[in-house]
Amino acid sequence: MNKLIEQQIETLVEPLVSEKGLELVNVEYVKEGAHWYLRLYIDKEGGVDMDDCTDVSHAVSEMLDTKNPIPQAYMLEVSSPGLERPLKKEEDFKRFQGSLVMVHTLSQFQGFKKFSGTLVGLINDEIVLEYENKRVAIPRDLVKKTHLLLDF
């Protein structure tokens, strides 16, 4: 159910965020303790600032109050995706080719549940990484999440 709500919110919010010149990176709808949180992660070239987050928060809050797609009370949070931003969309995998990434799988794949390496790209619906002079192609339907890794 949470995934369905996340998809609905993404569909509603994406045009609003885009018209402000920002990118909607991720939507999370999660329960933590007794409270529900709707988290929107936004970005733009050079990064977002507090004014961007506040502007999107006000606009989204007003729109969601009108459309009311979420049945229970929740807290809205709008922020930057951070330095280890998630990669979800096809464009993300193109944009961050050559970057260091971490892939978490839903179950073991080739004996592992975590893979880190240089992103080669998204090829035939597989996330292709290179590490230790080897390539691994992980079927996207086995992937729980993929995110950038800081390279020290």
Tens of pLDDT, residue by residue over 49-81, are 999 999 999 999 999 999 988 988 999 999 999
| Residue 25 contacts residue 42 (beta carbons within 8 Å) | yes
DSSP 3-state assignment of 53? helix
- Measured between alpha carbons, how far is residue 109 from residues 1, 12, 140, 149 in Å? 27, 35, 12, 20
Domain architecture of the chain: domains with CATH: 2-79 (3.30.300.70), 90-148 (2.30.30.100)
- Residue pLDDT, tens place only, 105-146: 999 999 999 999 999 999 999 999 999 889 999 999 999 999
Rounded percentage of the chain residues whose pLDDT exceeds 70: 99
- Given this model, what pLDDT does residue 85 score? 92
The pTM (predicted TM-score) of the whole model is 0.82
- Residue pLDDT, tens place only, 4-17: 999 999 999 999 99
